[in-house]
Amino acid sequence: MSATNITNDINSQTEQKLNNKKVSVLLLDDEFDVFKKLSEVFEDQEDFSVVGQASSCRIGTVMIQTYQPEIVVFNSNMTSISPEESPGIIRKILAQSEKTKVVAIVGSNDSGQIFRVIKAGAAGCLSIEDLGKDISLILEQVLDGNVVIPPKIATKFVGVLQQFYGPKPDDQPAEVIIKSLTTREKQLLLLMMKGYSYEQIAEICAITVSTVKTHFNAIFCKMGVKNRVQAIGIALRQDIQLLVEPDLLADLKDLSPVTNKISRVPAAVNQVL
């Protein structure tokens, strides 16, 4: 075999190896079920290789610096962080590695969270339901420079854009505001109008204070306000309580205006999703 043929053969083998190189992926998640599902999905992927699995942001930081993965699949619902921390973590990941792209796992019904992670620089969003074998198609589009949002999530994302950039409160009649709120959000708005604090509302509804704050952030976005004072002002001025479903008002009627002690928790309150 001539030297030219040998050289060509070596170049061909090198090019083939480069073409067959797997895309490096790091998984950042501390929820066992999600972690397990992600691991199982990537076991069947020929074009992607998991170079590390981190169960905390601290460990993830070290592994990203070490491996410089091309993609980080980050569960923004990690139990060890609050929803408000997710954007900061995404920005930190991107600052650590210029070539790394972040794909965030989000709640498919949490439009505010979807908006925050995309705004922070995530190249795509996935819901738990999207963690199937077709994940490779989403990741390939991300690698091509696209921002990928599955249709189910995209609908929510468009909704939150309309909340941020749509008509302002002064242009919206009370009927429009009420229609934009979920049953839970209407309930919390009514409790806020009664003067209850976040902590008291959390106790009444049997949810965490963090969850209460997340709901109120969504309410404020939909109403186009920055804080509870502005929200209450609009709610009172437009008599929003008059448009709330009678059943929901009945559930809360026995709650007296704010006191140091909550009188009674209606059973139906805890059943609202």
DSSP assignment of 248-267 equals HHHHHTTSPSP-SS-----H
Q: What are phi and psi of 35, to 5 degrees?
A: -60, -45
- Name the residue with tokens 């601290």: 58
Residue whose entry in the numeric block shows the structure tokens 């993830």: 60
34-68 pLDDT, tens per residue?
888 888 888 878 889 999 999 998 999 899 999 99
Domains of the chain, by residue range, sit at 3-159, 167-271
Handedness of CA 104, 110, 115, 116 (dihedral sign): negative
Q: pLDDT category, 24, cuts 50, 70, 90?
A: very high
Q: In 134-208, which residue ranges form alpha helices assigned H by DSSP? A: 135-143, 151-165, 174-180, 183-193, 198-205
Task: Tell me the pLDDT tens digit for each residue of 145-184.
Answer: 998 887 777 776 676 666 555 555 455 677 788 888 888 8
Residue corresponding to tokens 């997340």:
214
For 26, 108, 138, the CA distances from 68, given in Å and listed in that order, are 9, 29, 20
pLDDT surpasses 90 at 1: no
The pair phi, psi for residue 206, each rounded to 5°, is: 60, 45
Q: Which fold has domain 3-159?
A: Rossmann fold (3.40.50)
Q: What is the pLDDT of residue 7?
A: 44
| Tokens read off for 186 | 């209407």
Written as six digits, the tokens of 256 are 């007296």
Q: Which residues contact residue 80 at a Cβ distance below 8 angstroms, ignoring those fewer than 6 apart?
A: 30, 56, 57
Phi, psi torsion values for 269, nearest 5 degrees: -60, -45
Q: Give the pLDDT of residue 13.
A: 41
For residues 101 and 143, is the Cβ–Cβ distance under 8 A?
Answer: yes
Best CATH choice for the domain 167-271 from the list 3.90.600.10, 3.40.50.970, 1.10.10.10, 2.40.50.1070: 1.10.10.10
Q: Which of 134-138, 140-144, 262-266 has the highest mean pLDDT?
A: 140-144
Taking residues 188-215, report their average pLDDT: 88
Q: Is the pLDDT of residue 196 over 50?
A: yes
